[in-house]
Amino acid sequence: MSFPGQASNLRGGMKRRSFALLTALLAGAALGQAASQVPLSIETLAAKADAVVHGTVVRMSCQRDDGGRIFTKVHLQIIEQMNGRQRGGTLVIVQGGGVLGRRIARSPIQPTYRVGAEVVVFVVFNSRGEAVTLGLNQGKFDVMRQPKTGLAMVRNPFHGLAKRDDPRAVVKRALGQTKPLTLAELKRRVRRAAK
């Protein structure tokens, strides 16, 4: 026997349980991703990098190699060479994956670039002399400018404030890595580590 309003209470309870389950799954996915990476300090990234560059993404192109694998070339206009070998006014970063026609090849821990984005990248040069982002998504910092002050802040999955919609924010809070990080402080730490 059911009473008036009982069905709506049951549906409300199911919605809450479904939402809780979805939240737990998203947090678990974020924790799984973080667990698959050992966080690297800024100093470690700087010490291992062949170059550290502050720049703007001006172009991206996706191609296939002879083996049929998809790869992406990311072209940066260099604003400042913070450390390492100078390579002129541009830097081309190569990484596996991308979108080519209807084919998508991606890794959740691969850095994501977009045209127009201001970034700081820690790169190593492979045997073909191509720049590759060091430590996957740990070697790329997004630069954001505060609207009122213009102060440049940086972040990656393990350093700086998390994006509001980033499921890894839970992990960053758990690891105590939710402090703001300015571009100036990042540069200072890179230069100090390079000495």
Domain ranges of the chain: 42-194
For 85-139, write each residue's pLDDT tens digit.
Answer: 777 899 999 998 888 888 888 888 889 999 999 999 999 999 999 999 999 899 9
Higher pLDDT, 195 or 46: 46
Say whether pLDDT at 165 is over 90: no
- Which value, to the nearest 10 degrees, does the dihedral of the CA atoms of residues 18, 163, 110, 58 take? 140
Dist CA 162 CA 103 (whole Å): 30
Q: Specify which residues 94 forms β-bridges with.
A: 73
Say whether pLDDT at 53 is over 80: yes
Residues 6+ apart with CB under 8 A from 1: none
Say whether pLDDT at 8 is over 80: no
Burial of 50-71, coded b for 16+ CB within 10 Å and e otherwise, reads bbbbbbebeeeebeeeeeeebb
What per-residue confidence (pLDDT) applies to 39? 86
User: Which one, of 38, 39, 42, 40, lies nearest residue 192 by Cα?
Assistant: 42
Does pTM top 0.85 for this prediction?
no
For 169-180, write each residue's pLDDT tens digit.
Answer: 555 555 555 678
User: Which one, of 186, 130, 131, lies nearest residue 156 by Cα?
Assistant: 186
Dist CA 168 CA 171 (whole Å): 5
Percentages helix, strand, coil for the chain (3-state, rounded to 5) are 30, 35, 35
Dist CA 62 CA 41 (whole Å): 30
Q: How many other CB atoms are found less than 10 A from the CB of residue 31?
A: 15
Q: Are 184 and 54 in contact (CB under 8 A)?
A: no
For 60-84, write each residue's pLDDT tens digit.
Answer: 999 988 998 999 999 999 999 999 8
Q: Which CATH number fits domain 42-194: 2.60.40.10, 3.40.50.720, 3.10.105.10, 2.40.50.140?
A: 2.40.50.140
